[in-house]
Copies of this chain bind each other. A is one copy, B any other.
């Protein structure tokens, strides 16, 4: 049984973090094999030029429900006792995790109830409903919707599938990085990555990435909107801090804080935290559209925006070649109007 309040306390998180490793991600990969897609690691020479690097773009926008979140949700549901799972599952999310839980619940034939913000993008609301999920609208912050989910869990006895702050979610999300490293090894005959850049909201994707990257000797860097930089500020402060999210086109990267367990894992592994503004996000997204031919949402383009700065602390001289940089493209769910607006603004600059 999953306890919705697990990993909420800092000491417990530190203990849990110490117990997690790449083995948990490998176990997650085995559990969800056949349920998730092995998304391609795209190679795009024009973007390599801009980044002065060999970029391996892990296209999780092509994952089920258009986001890596399907990995964590499928894994988390697979770990719930069948009798408990039969009561249905509950979650809270600004978007992609909501669709992922609806998708996973449908795969297991159980109902999903999801607390979403009242300002959730219509495309994500429609996505949840199309997958049979029931939506409960609750406030605008991650705290608001978490509260609604906890209330509902107490009322129904159904389990909460945590969006990021849970070992099962984290190890599920880590499978994206596990696959990427396999794909890079295949493409480079065992060469490996010199760096991995990961977008950060609540920290599920980056915590999973750290479990894998630490074991494989790959350095991890984070990418956040400059207006919602909870991980960057926490690393600076040396402790987990809250950051009231400011406006950003990256609607998937706007939690109040990173998760406790996510923080406990990431603080020891993330080499440096980067923030990007809306211009960088929009341009990176349109470059992916026109150069890589894939639709990625603004949040999903954050890691590429960082890579395009050429500012990762990599000793290029000692490498004697372009660095190989993994870039996690986290999702592709974005309103048509937003795509049109960003195309009009950045289409001439790619």
Chain A residues in the interface with B (C-beta under 8 A): 37, 40, 42-43, 46, 61-62, 66, 130, 286, 289-290, 292-296, 332, 336-337, 339-340, 343-344, 347-348, 350
When chains A and B are docked, how far (Å) is the Cα of A286 from the Cα of B343?
14
Complex: how many Å from CA A296 to CA B293? 7
Q: Which of B40, B43, B293, B339 contacts A66 (CB 8 A)?
A: B293
Tell whether, in the assembled complex, residue B293 and residue A332 are in contact, meaning their CB atoms are under 8 Å apart: yes
Given contacts A62-B294, A336-B348, 18 further A-B contacts (CB under 8 A): A40-B40, A40-B62, A61-B293, A62-B292, A62-B293, A66-B293, A286-B336, A289-B295, A289-B339, A290-B336, A293-B294, A293-B296, A293-B332, A294-B294, A336-B347, A337-B347, A339-B343, A340-B340
Closest to A335 in B: B347
A340: chain B residues within 8 A (beta carbon): 340, 343-344, 347
Residues of B within 8 Å of A295, CB to CB, are 289-290, 293-295
Chain B's nearest CB lies how many Å from the CB of A67?
A: 10
Closest B residue to A293 using CB positions: B332
User: Which of A42, A337, A343 is most buried by chain B, counting CB atoms within 10 A of its CB?
Assistant: A343
For residue A286, which residues in chain B have a CB less than 8 angstroms away from its CB? 336
Closest to A67 in B: B293
How far in angstroms is the closest Cβ of chain B from A270?
Answer: 28
Distance A296 CA – B294 CA, assembled complex (angstroms):
9
Can you report 30 residue pairs joining A to B where beta carbons are below 8 Å apart? A37-B43, A40-B40, A40-B62, A42-B62, A46-B130, A62-B292, A62-B293, A62-B294, A66-B293, A286-B336, A289-B295, A289-B339, A290-B295, A293-B294, A293-B295, A293-B296, A293-B332, A294-B294, A294-B295, A295-B295, A336-B343, A336-B347, A336-B348, A337-B347, A339-B347, A340-B340, A340-B343, A340-B344, A340-B347, A343-B343
Write out the residue numbers on chain B whose beta carbons fall within 8 Å of the beta carbon of A337.
347
Q: Which of A43, A46, A61, A294 has the most CB of B within 10 A?
A: A294
Query: What's the least CB distance linking A47 to chain B, in Å?
Result: 13
Closest CB in chain B relative to A165 CB, distance in Å: 27
* CB nearest neighbor in B for A334: B290
Whose C-beta in chain B lies nearest to the C-beta of A332?
B293
The smallest C-beta distance from A137 to any residue of chain B, in angstroms, reads 22
Most B C-beta atoms less than 10 A away, residue of A42, A289, A293, A343: A293
